[in-house]
Amino acid sequence: MTPATSQRRQALLRALVAGAAGLTIAVGVVGAVVAVRDLGERADVNSGYDFADREIAWGNGWTLSQEGLYAARSLIPPQADYDIVMGDESKFTDPLTHRFAPNYVHSFLMPRHLRRGAGWVVCFRCERETLGAGVTVLWEDPEVGLSVLRLPREGAA
Amino acid sequence: MSAAGLLGLAAFVAVFTTAGLGVLVALEGTPHLRSVVLDLGLAYLLGVVSLGSVLTLAVLAGVPFSATTMLVGAAVFALGGVLVGRARGRREEIEGPRAGRYGYLVAAGLLALVLVVVEAYFRAGRLHGLFGFDAGAFWTPKAAALHAAGEFDEAHFASFPAPSYPPLVPMLQAAFFELRGEVDLVGLHLVYWSWLAGFVAASARLLLRVANPVLVWGMLLLLLVAGQAKKDALTPQADLFQDVVLGLGVLFVARWLADRRTSSLVGALLFVSALALVKREGYLFAACVAGAVLLACGLRTRSSWGHAALFALLPVAVALPWRVWFTRRSLVGDGPDVGVLDLADHADRVAPATWLVLRTLADVDVWPAVLVVALAAAVGALLAGERTLPVFTLSLLGLTAVGYVWTMWAFTSLPITQDNSQNPITRLVGGALVPAALLSPILLQRVLDATGWEAPRAPTHRLRVAAVAAVAAVAVAYPVGVLALEGAPRFPSRADCAALAAPDATEFVLVYDHRSWLPTARAVRDRLAEVGFADAEVRADGCGGWEVVNPGVQTLEQARGHIEDARRVGFEPRLEER
């Protein structure tokens, strides 16, 4: 390699480093301005939530009732098992409710154990007559169709 | 986040940093006291992966999970590390490449921006609710179950989605809950912030020894401002943590490729083997690191195969107890939808999967410019006569890209789309791009070194002092400015829902009592009804508790009468903000 070629190669490589560093810094600086703005907006939105909206978070809206969730947490003892009974899918306007409400409630009611057939029931527009006789309604919001029930089942925790 | 949440976070960071300092001292020898501050970020994340992994394995072996277990573990790591470190002697302090006068100022400016962005992440995370679906459906409930039961609760895990997903992240979340004293899903976001901040500090600590500060701070800023980083840092799942662990592991691999010291290899193995406990993709990434090590070190060398085998097999060994645990309990496995033998039946997915992976890797909304810079750096280093590190970088990029294509191909239930609610590809590509980004400053420095470039003029002492002062001023100015514009930060608490109304308020509600539990609130209402307050009602107070109110009381005059009557029968009603 001649000295001239070597110099050209060195210049080319230095230009490559300068280009890569320049691109990194340019995108980084512009991105920093955007990031501080975006994260600041996020902080403002977060600050505007009330306590329950922040706590219910990903379940807001499609889980039908914040009060119903708190009622379930308040009425079902922490050591108890419970069941979630969903009504027919056609009863829900939000497609998330039928599909994911059990996931949400399971998470919200931790450390209570979700168990099919348990004596405590969170009922999302369910057909109560299918649960058998002697169902006690502990909390209910008939408008949204959410209730917390107690069944007189043998062995219910 | 409440003050108690901040204390919980401080305890979490302190416990894992203590453990990690022990690991770092064992790896590198006893540091000079003045350099310990610069070690803290790396020590923290070394502690998180090493103590976190050991805790996970210990709990799987039947050791009860508790704050005591964590504290004992941290103490053992710290004391063991100090003993090993003493035997190793004083650490060799390495000074990295220096920037010239102008470069120093540019680096200082970039560092100031990095600090401001990290502070902005703190602001955004402080009061963030849990909005990620997977985070709410199984990551955090698993942690809550572990916190409540002190063990991996089979009944809970069996009823969560993705029951067999690796357990390190829930273990770390549960560690925070344990030290915090309760399940705090809002405060948890600051644990993720601490991982992000620790990652920046740890990466800087490793990179500044081998690369120009302009290149280092520029790249760290670029990573911090990426759209995907902003999403992952505020979603308590495992994506951010996986990128952090893989990124730091790869930096240790790069160090080992350069110095071939056992300590660097052990550091790399600590991070890479933890990957298998983070996410199921961890095996894939560990295999990619192993393949890249093999290609970089040479297929014909016997030791290359041995080292590659270490990177491939140690993660499998570390994750084995977890696999035994969930297999024995018949929990749903985490393998792909289609086995190797049936892949050919889905060959029509290969082309769209490849296109999806390539365009996501290059997507400026995900990790902007990273792919271009990393490829330029690796190709430049090859042209400059370097071999090992650029081959490692390109191999890792290539192998992970192939791994992503296989993932999109074999998980046939995933639609081929960038929509995050249906396909995780935008979250996955950080596994290729974050390591490549971190390797870029080293590669670019090697190119500069090969061209014989040296910083033209060293910064004067006065300039250094001024730059440090300016960086500190900017770092302080951002939060001070926010406080000046928006007032003191709020620390929401349950008491917010029991705020007294102003004396001249026209809108208020008469509250007889607040109770944490619905049955006790109902008992209060029943007692009120017995003594004639038939209009008393129980309703949710908006903060997770219950209030006994009289919604019929509309005017101050009515309220005064009610309050007097209620006091006569032993109640102390209050007028509260509506």
B226–A57 C-beta distance less than 8 A = no
Nearest CA in chain A to B373: A20
Show the beta-strand stretches assigned E in B313-398: none
Min Cα separation B399/chain A (Å): 23
Task: Supply B148's token pair.
Answer: 């409540």
Min Cα separation B503/chain A (Å): 23
Q: Which residues contact B313 (CB under 8 A, 6 or more apart)?
A: none
A-to-B residue pairs, Cβ atoms closer than 8 angstroms: 199
More confident site: B167 or A4: B167
Show the beta-strand stretches assigned E in B498-543: 508-515, 537-540
B542–A52 C-beta distance less than 8 A = yes
Residue B291's nearest CA partner among B275, B263, B313 is: B313
Nearest CA in chain A to B162: A103
B155–A14 C-beta distance less than 8 A = no
Min Cα separation A102/chain B (Å): 9
The enclosing H or E element of B67 equals helix B67-88
The residues facing A121 across adjacent strands are A83, A149
CA B553/CA A150 separation, integer angstroms: 34
The answer to whether residue B160 neighbours chain A at the CB level (below 8 Å) is yes
The enclosing H or E element of A136 equals strand A136-141
Min Cα separation B125/chain A (Å): 7
CA B426/CA B3 separation, integer angstroms: 35
Say yes or no to pLDDT of A1 above 70.
Answer: no
Min Cα separation A132/chain B (Å): 25
DSSP secondary structure letters along A41-89: HHHHHHHHS-HHHHHHGGGTTTTS-HHHHHHHHHHS-TT-EEEEEE--G
Nearest CA in chain A to B124: A43
How would you classify the pairing of strands B546-550 and A120-124? Answer: unpaired
Task: Supply B289's token pair.
Answer: 């690191």
Amino acid letter, residue B556 = L
A13–B369 C-beta distance less than 8 A = no
pLDDT tens, residue by residue, B118-160: 999 999 999 999 998 899 999 999 999 999 999 999 999 998 9
Q: What is the pLDDT of residue A156?
A: 46
Provide the ipTM.
Answer: 0.92
The answer to whether residue A10 neighbours chain B at the CB level (below 8 Å) is yes
Q: What is the pLDDT of residue B301?
A: 86
Min Cα separation B250/chain A (Å): 20
Q: Give the DSSP letter of residue A90.
A: G
What does residue A55 show for φ and ψ, rounded to 5 degrees? -75, -40
A16–B447 C-beta distance less than 8 A = yes
Q: Name the residue among B144, B440, B490 with its Cβ closest to that of A110.
A: B144
Task: Supply A132's token pair.
Answer: 């058998």
Task: Supply A35's token pair.
Answer: 């990031």
Cβ within 8 Å of B, A 71-110: 71, 73-75, 100, 103-104, 106-107, 110
SS (H, E, C) B390-449: HHHHHHHHHHHHHHHHHHHHHCCCCCCCCCCCCCCHHHHCHHHHHHHHHHHHHHHHHHHH
Q: Name the residue among A10, A19, A38 with its Cβ closest to that of B376.
A: A19
Task: Supply B72's token pair.
Answer: 């004992």
B492–A54 C-beta distance less than 8 A = yes
CA A84/CA B292 separation, integer angstroms: 49
Q: Which residues of B489-528 are buried (b: 16+ CB within 10 A; e: fewer)?
A: eeebeeeebbeebeeeeeebbbbbbbbeebeebbebbebb
Q: Name the residue among A14, A107, A110 with its Cβ closest to that of B451.
A: A14
SS (H, E, C) B236-296: CCCHHHHHHHHHHHHHHHHHHHHHCCHHHHHHHHHHHHHHHHCCCHHHHHHHHHHHHHHHH
Q: What is the pLDDT of residue B241?
A: 98
Query: Can you tell me whether residue B185 is helix, strand or coil?
Result: coil
Residue ranges of chain B with per-residue pLDDT less than 70:
1
Cβ within 8 Å of A, B 185-214: 185-186, 214
Chain B residues within an 8 Å CB radius of A28 = 110, 113, 218-219, 221-222, 225
A67–B540 C-beta distance less than 8 A = yes
The answer to whether residue A15 neighbours chain B at the CB level (below 8 Å) is no
B130–A58 C-beta distance less than 8 A = yes
Q: Name the residue among B116, B127, B222 with its Cβ closest to that of A27.
A: B222
Chain A residues within an 8 Å CB radius of B494 = 51
Task: Supply B99's token pair.
Answer: 């920037």
Q: Which residues contact B328 (CB under 8 A, 6 or more apart)?
A: none
pLDDT tens, residue by residue, B221-259: 999 999 999 999 999 999 999 999 999 999 999 999 999
Q: Which residues contact B272 (CB under 8 A, 6 or more apart)?
A: B246, B249, B253, B285, B286, B289, B311, B314, B315
Q: Name the residue among B120, B126, B440 with its Cβ closest to that of A36.
A: B120
The residues facing B500 across adjacent strands are B576
Mutate to test the interface with B, among A1, A5, A9, A24 (most CBs of B within 10 A): A24
Min Cα separation B313/chain A (Å): 35
The enclosing H or E element of B387 equals none
Chain A residues within an 8 Å CB radius of B218 = 21, 24-25, 28
Rounded-to-5 percentages of helix, strand, coil across chain A:
55, 15, 30
pLDDT tens, residue by residue, B210-222: 999 999 999 999 9
The answer to whether residue B140 neighbours chain A at the CB level (below 8 Å) is yes
pLDDT tens, residue by residue, A48-98: 898 899 999 999 989 999 999 999 999 999 999 999 999 999 999 999 999
Q: For chain A, what is the mean pLDDT?
A: 92
Q: Could you tell me if B540 and A70 are in contact, meaning their C-beta atoms sit under 8 angstroms apart?
A: yes
CA B37/CA B514 separation, integer angstroms: 47
Q: What is the pLDDT of residue A154?
A: 52
- Say what angle helices B168-180 and B36-60 make with each other, to 10 degrees: 110
A29–B221 C-beta distance less than 8 A = yes
The answer to whether residue A144 neighbours chain B at the CB level (below 8 Å) is no
Chain B residues within an 8 Å CB radius of A19 = 376
Min Cα separation B262/chain A (Å): 31
